[in-house]
Amino acid sequence: MNGFNSEREGALNALLADYAAGHLNPALHSLVAAHLEMKPDNRSFVSSLEVVHARALEDVAPVELSNRQAMLDRIFAAGDRQAAGAVRKPSASLPEALYAYVGRDLEDVKWRSVLPGLKEFRISDKGSETEASLLWIRSGRRMPAHTHDGQEVTLVLKGAFTDTMGHYGRGDISIADGDIDHRPRADDSGDCICFAVTDAPLRLTGPIGRLLQRFTGH
């Protein structure tokens, strides 16, 4: 078996399990909810995890079936409900769960240029350790080489990118940590837009990155 693939699946399953158990911070919760909107196939997997979680709760206190159903409904409707108060344009480009978290659609994002071919929009983290950003990588461009002090979870919203772990397309989640030093590269077929959540600042490792780090104070 390919080591990277099983590792990749294991990390994703752990993330989905934490989601099902309600253990994720708001940024990661929105990221996984958006992933499930884009990749509905994983919903059945999350539902089965929720059954396991509900059974574990039953050992402590009986949970009525109707409560469990309400819990599932609540989890899957969370994104829709949060966005219900806002009127979205017909051109809406973000999954509901992410729109509710970011508070605007891609068309209304005020991008900040980081490097030629790389733009960023940071979402305020409301006092948590977590940093959440939308990233725009121009077709064929690379992110600066970097590694991570914590975990970096990235959801592809548009286009696709490749790094040392594989190829990620729309709706895919990439999970990277301190063991991985990478330079994600957007496919040549179009610009790549991602939502990335990190629990510690990235550590830039390449020569350009180190120079940039001095100026941005990361």
Q: Site residues (CB under 5 A) for Zn ion?
A: 152, 176
Q: In this structure, what DSSP letter does residue 182 have?
A: B
Instruction: Tabulate helix, strand, coil % of the chain (nearest 5).
Output: 40, 25, 35
State how far the alpha carbon of 7 is from the alpha carbons of 10, 14, 28, 171, 181, in Å: 5, 11, 19, 19, 16
CB of 164 to Zn ion, least distance (A): 10
Are 169 and 146 contacting, i.e. CB atoms less than 8 angstroms apart?
A: no
The least distance separating Zn ion from the CB of residue 146, rounded to whole angstroms, comes to 5
**Residue nearer to Zn ion on the CB measure, 97 or 176:** 176
Least distance CB 213 / Zn ion (angstroms): 14
User: Whole-number minimum distance, CB 206 to Zn ion, in Å?
Assistant: 12
Which tokens go with 63?
Answer: 């949970």
Shortest CB 23 distance to Zn ion, Å: 22
- What's the CA gap between 118 and 112, in Å, rounded? 9
Nearer to Zn ion, 72 or 165 (CB): 165
Angle in degrees, CA 39, 40, 46, rounded to 5: 105
* Residue 99 beta carbon to Zn ion: minimum distance, rounded to whole angstroms: 24
Between 57 and 115, CB nearer to Zn ion: 115
Burial of 87 (0-12, 13-18, 19+ CB in 10 A): exposed
Residues in the chain: 218
Q: Please state, in angstroms and rounded to a whole number, the distance separating the CA atoms of residues 122 and 7.
A: 29
Cα gap 37→58, rounded to integer Å: 29
**Would you say 152 or 172 has its CB closer to Zn ion?**
152
- Report, in angstroms and rounded to the nearest whole number, the Rg of the chain calculated over CA atoms: 18
* Closer by beta carbon to Zn ion, 96 or else 152: 152
Q: 83 or 134: whose CB is closer to Zn ion?
A: 134
